[in-house]
Structure 1
Amino acid sequence: MPDDFLIRAGLAGIGLMLAAGPLGAFVVWRRMAYMGDATSHAAILGVALALAAGLPVAAGTVVVALLVALAVTVLSNRGRAADTALGVLAHSALAFGLVAVSFLPNVRSDLSSWLFGDVLTVGTAELLWIWGGAGLVLALLVWRWDALLTATVNEELAQAAGIDPARERLVLTLALALVVAVALKIVGALLIAAMLIIPAATARALSRTPEVMALWAVVLGAISVVAGLWASLAFDTPAGPSIVAVSALFFALSLVPARAR
């Protein structure tokens, strides 16, 4: 029988993928990979602010992630290129976060856990938070699925159907901020975007409908979590990067039949 900490780690990773799989599909469809990267990098600033204020880390990451998304929207509306705005905000937030953490006592030694995750130390309370947050994101995506899909395919068609594309973008932004807060403990700020993008990109080669692609992203992500934890235990490698590495191997394998066809 696996040890309790391995069971909790596996459950935490699977819980994350229940939300990250469908959300990652929208990230791939909408070409929001850079937005996911910027939001995850900004999470370090949220960690620093939360620790300095004595608030829950999840609250700090959600707030900062939403502020970054809002700032990108404002800059884009003022004529700035979205990718430029995302690049500036992502790296600036990461830099300010790392600087802020350096002023906090007893945090510098634990910084790697926020950057690369520390899923093997997930406790029962954190497991409940991860499943609760992931469940909330999943419920939000299921509720808005048709509207989100229509706005993703064609914004003019969405407007004709009475759907506000800006509202649907806000829904995705909120979901992305919540997933970042949930995933921070599992794969860390530097690797969150990978677990959003890679399983969904792999699932694209196996799917013919949006719903099937979202389901495959969940399944592939969950398998990557279990296989990555096994590899971490067998080869004494960091758990978070091991999970992402296995996911990347699945993506590489998915390219083989596509090339053959």
Structure 2
Amino acid sequence: MLDDFFTRALIAGIGAALVAGPLGCFIVWRRMAYFGDTLSHAALLGVALSLLLQINTTLAVGGVSVLIAVLLMLLRRSNTLSSDALLGLLSHSALALGLVCLAFMTWVRIDLQGLLFGDILSVTVVDIIMVYAGGAGVLAVLAIIWRPLFAATVSSDLAAAEGLSPNRAEVIFMVLNAVVIAIALKIVGALLITALLIIPAAAARRVAASPEHMAVMAALIGAVAVVGGLYSSYYYDTPSGPSIVVAAMGIFILSLLPGLSALKWAGSRIKGGRS
């Protein structure tokens, strides 16, 4: 019989993985891993503001992440610095500012390790509701903008030629990233959120026969990593967040096996034959 806290952790972790997987596919396709890292580092600043202003942590983290995403877009349009330089500037500045703000709040007891690496075993029913409600909203919006966002990922000119709005889709995509980071912060922490977004998607890319198949596979791989990581953490007394990431990395290593590449080829051939 599993303890209640462990059951809640499983439910919350699976919910976060199911959302992070499809969104992570676009991060992999668009080569935006550093962007996800920037938003996850900015989450710490959101936590500091939530404690200072006494507001909901998830809302504060989401708000700061959206602000950083918008600021990044505005700076990119100014053409003063390259994208990677801007990401590095915003990422480390937000992380450092968050840590400094937390250090000044001596009247608040802060579990810094939990913020950085997650504390999934302490999730509450309210946290689970926020994960699934926010996750459902993210997936619904992602399904709506899937076509213009994917077209813009392949080619901005192609998206514009089809009468789509790649710029609007990109803004919405950045906001969705901010929401996912906000709801996943307590599960894997600020430093490991990007891993939950990228590693399952990277593993799914090795075996998926289509973009849609890759999104589904990434969600499932993330869920399996959560279950495997939590059980290994439970039995071997290891940190939960890092254990989930290690489990995801193990699945990625398995995806490198030559037999799985053959499976991907067979799946693409079957799909081609049906069409």
TM-score by length of 2: 0.92
1:83 paired residue number:
84
Cα contact 1:101–1:108 (8 A) shared by 2 = no
The offset of 1:161, in angstroms, is: 1.1
The offset of 1:258, in angstroms, is: 7.0
Structure number, greater radius of gyration: 2
Work out the CA distance in 2 between the residues paired with 1:125 and 1:49. 21
Q: Does 1:255 align with 2:230?
A: no
RMSD: 1.4
Measured against aligned partners, the alpha-carbon deviations of 1:200-221 in whole angstroms (never above 9, x if no partner) come to 0000011110000000001100
The offset of 1:260, in angstroms, is: 8.1
The offset of 1:105, in angstroms, is: 3.5
1:4 paired residue number:
4
Work out the CA distance in 1 between the residues paired with 2:211 and 2:31. 15
For 1:50, give the aligned amino acid. S
The offset of 1:259, in angstroms, is: 9.7
Cα contact 1:18–1:135 (8 A) shared by 2 = no
For 2:163, give the aligned amino acid. G
Percent identity between matched residues is 48
Q: Does 1:193 align with 2:177?
A: no
Map residues 166-205 of structure 1 onto 2, 5 A cutoff: 166-205=167-206
Measured against aligned partners, the alpha-carbon deviations of 1:84-112 in whole angstroms (never above 9, x if no partner) come to 00001000100000010112235454111
Aligned residues: 261
The offset of 1:46, in angstroms, is: 0.6
Q: Does 1:97 align with 2:98?
A: yes
Work out the CA distance in 1 between the residues paired with 2:142 and 2:245. 24
Cα contact 1:194–1:244 (8 A) shared by 2 = yes
Determine helix, strand or coil for the equivalent of 1:31. coil
For 2:24, give the aligned amino acid. G
Work out the CA distance in 2 between the residues paired with 1:104 and 1:246. 35
Task: Choose 187-196 or 106-115, whichever is displaced more.
Answer: 106-115
For 1:9, give the aligned amino acid. A
Cα contact 1:72–1:85 (8 A) shared by 2 = yes
TM-score by length of 1: 0.97
Cα contact 2:5–2:123 (8 A) shared by 1 = yes
Work out the CA distance in 2 between the residues paired with 1:39 and 1:179. 10
Determine helix, strand or coil for the equivalent of 1:205. helix
Unaligned runs of 5+ residues in structure 1 are none
Work out the CA distance in 1 between the residues paired with 2:210 and 2:254. 21
Q: Does 1:72 align with 2:88?
A: no
Measured against aligned partners, the alpha-carbon deviations of 1:201-244 in whole angstroms (never above 9, x if no partner) come to 00001111000000000110000000000010111011000000
1:208 paired residue number:
209
Q: Does 1:228 align with 2:222?
A: no
Structure 1 segments of 4+ aligned residues over 6 angstroms from their partners:
258-261
1:258/1:73 Cα in 2 relative to 1: closer, same or farther (>3 Å)? farther
Task: Choose 233-242 or 70-79, whichever is displaced more.
Answer: 70-79
Work out the CA distance in 2 between the residues paired with 1:258 and 1:73. 42
Unaligned runs of 5+ residues in structure 2 are 263-275
1:56 paired residue number:
56
The offset of 1:6, in angstroms, is: 0.9
Determine helix, strand or coil for the equivalent of 2:42. helix
Measured against aligned partners, the alpha-carbon deviations of 1:172-208 in whole angstroms (never above 9, x if no partner) come to 1010000000100000000000000000000001111
For 2:55, give the aligned amino acid. L
1:217/1:107 Cα in 2 relative to 1: closer, same or farther (>3 Å)? farther
